[in-house]
Chain A
Amino acid sequence: MENNIQHSDIYAIALHHRFQWEEAQQSYVILFPEGMIKLHGGAGEILKRVDGKTSVGEIVADLKNTFPDAEDIESDILGMFDIAVGKAWLRKVN
Chain B
Amino acid sequence: MAQLNNGVAASVTQKQPLWLLAEVTYRCPLHCAFCYNPTDYDKHTKNELSTEQWIAALRDARKMGAIQLGISGGEPLLRDDIEEIVAEAHKLGYYSNLITSGVGLTEKRIQAFKEGGLDHIQLSMHDVTEDISNFITNTRTFELKKKVAAMIKSHGYPMVLNVVIHRYNIDQVGKILEMAEALGADYVELANTQYYGWSLVNRDQLMPTREQLNRAEAATNAFRERVGNKMKVFFVVPDYFSDRPKKCMNGWGEVFMIVTANGDVLPCHSARVLPGLEFPNVKENGLEWAWRESPAFNKYRGMEWMKEPCRSCDEKENDLGGCRCQSYLLSGDAEMADPVCTKSPNRQLIDEALANSQKPFLREQPIIFRTDKNSKKYVEGDKERIEQFHALP
Contacts and interface: CB of A to CB of B under 8 A. Distances in A.
B172 interface: no
22 contacts: A15-B158, A16-B157, A16-B158, A18-B119, A22-B65, A24-B67, A25-B2, A29-B67, A31-B67, A31-B68, A31-B95, A32-B95, A33-B160, A34-B97, A34-B160, A34-B189, A34-B234, A36-B67, A36-B95, A38-B1, A38-B2, A88-B232
A37 interface: yes
B7 interface: no
Interface of A: 15-16, 18, 20, 22, 24-25, 29, 31-38, 40, 88
Nearest to B189: A34
Nearest to A15: B158
A46 B157 CA distance: 27
Contacts of A32: 95
Given A25-B2, A34-B189, A36-B18, 12 more contacts: A15-B158, A22-B65, A24-B65, A29-B67, A31-B68, A33-B122, A33-B158, A33-B160, A33-B186, A36-B68, A37-B1, A88-B232
B281 interface: no
Interface string B234-270: 1000000000000000000000000000000000000
A33 B157 CA distance: 11
B16 A25 contact: yes
B187 interface: yes
A82 to B, nearest CB: 14
Contacts of A15: 158
B229 interface: yes
B65 A25 contact: yes
Nearest to B2: A38
Given A16-B158, A38-B1, A33 B120 contact: yes
B64 interface: yes
Interface in B1-41: 1-2, 16, 18
B120 A16 contact: yes
Contacts of A40: 2
A36 to B, nearest CB: 6
A22 B2 CA distance: 14
A24 B97 CA distance: 20
